[in-house]
Amino acid sequence: MQKYPAQDIPALAVEDVSKVYWQWQRGGTGKDVLKNLLHPQKRRVQALDALNLTVNAGEFVAYAGANGAGKSTTIKILAGILQPSEGRVRVLGMDPAKDRVRLMARIGVLFGQRSELWWDYPVIASYEWKRAVWNIPQEKYDEMLNFATEILELGPILNTFARELSLGQKMRADLGMLLLHDPQVIFLDEPTLGLDLLAKRSLIRALKTLNRQHGTTILVTSHDMDDLQEMADRIVLLSRGRLAYDGTFAALRHGEAGQGGQVRIRVQSAGGTLPPVEGLRHLSTQNGESLYALDTQTTNINQALAAIATLPGIRDIEIQQPSIEDVIARLYQSWAAQ
């Protein structure tokens, strides 16, 4: 059920947006202290540099980058909390700075390390507060509360005081609260930070259901690339405030950083060193386990596997793709070296 089908107006439109901060600089010497009294030294930090980004309604976008790349700054700008130094921002066709009140009724923002729950109240009291402040019609509130309770398994914690919730429960309760006004766009800044495996899986499943069933546009940041890959179809990578990559995870993996479709094949055999196989580059052999590299752009993987299968004493064959974490780590390293 797509409640918000793709329209002419993109959900998010970021055009040539730049953001500059100034950082205080000072050494520890007396001379430096005196010099700073007269002329404080400040360093210009370009948090965002002519960023362009368009996200259509119903998209689930992962927004990633190394520390200080400008992810949180972008989310604050999109939410109208921060003004860009230059450029134009539109969320659902509105200017977040000028239409803040109207926009906030249609979007939701969740900062991973901050909670919107009322600390000294049961979760349901925070939800009732939100219904009143956001002026959500009772029917819509009931519908979304049921939806959130179901997908986030909130039933057992609705009457628990927020201060007594575990980190995972708190994050689920926060996300449930975020959904009560049925936002068209949600921004999630590191929602999986600090969560255990089960809590992460539960949260990711809920977000995917929300995106699929309600057509909610989601922009999510995280440093955990596996989480992002599991959640989103599209990944946008930032480097020093600039758009460095915008595409699918698959294309990213098979691109330059994914070493052009390089995969590794691990072969376990009963005997010692295996003879060479055409199209494969032998990397190592240890304890009956041989490792080969294969370039999928030059060698047919089926033929290579068939050739391996004919070798004597083969017990097991495993194809290893480079992990998305490795691919992105290589990218970060290459950007840092530039």
Partner 1 sequence: MAAKNTLRTWARLMRTYAKMDALYFLRDTRICLLYMFSDSVVSISGVFGMLLLAGRLGQSTGFSQNELYFLAACALLVNGLYDLFFMNNNAGAPSRIIGRGQLDHALIQPVPLPLHFITNGFAPASGCGTLLCGVAFSLWAAARLPGGVWLVAKALPLLVLSVGILFAWVYGVSALAFWAPYAAEEIAPDVTALFSSLAAYPLEVLGRFAQFFLCGLLPVGAMAWLPTSVLLGKAAPGPSIGLLAATAAASGLVAATIFRKGLNHYAKVSCPRYTGFGR
CA angle, 338 then 82 then 37, to 5° = 75
SS3 of residue 35 by DSSP: helix
- What does the alpha-carbon distance between residue 139 and residue 120 come to, in Å, rounded to a whole number? 27
C-beta closer to partner 1: residue 88 or 102:
102
Provide the minimum distance between the beta carbon of 305 and partner 1 in the complex, in angstroms, as a whole number. 53
Structure tokens at 212: 């699929």
Cα 241 to chain center, whole Å?
Answer: 16
Least separation in angstroms between CB 120 and partner 1: 6
Provide, rounded to whole angstroms, the least separation between the CB of residue 106 and partner 1: 8
If the CB atoms of residues 119 and 226 are measured against partner 1, the closer one turns out to be 119
Taking the complex as a whole, how short is the minimal distance between the CB of residue 277 and partner 1, in angstroms?
56
With respect to partner 1, which residue has the nearer C-beta, 106 or 266? 106
Q: Which is nearer to partner 1, 56 or 85 (CB)?
A: 85
Q: How many CB atoms lie within 10 A of CB 125?
A: 16
CB atoms within 10 A of CB 313: 12
Comparing CA positions, the residue from 316, 319, 262 lying closest to residue 289 is: 316
The torsion angles phi and psi of 88, rounded to 5 degrees, stand at: -130, 135
- Please, what is the minimum distance in Å from the beta carbon of residue 103 to partner 1? 8
Q: Which is nearer to partner 1, 189 or 230 (CB)?
A: 189
Enumerate binding residues for partner 1 (CB under 8 A).
Answer: 21, 23-24, 76, 79-83, 97, 100-105, 109, 111, 114, 116, 118, 120-121, 125, 128-129, 132-135
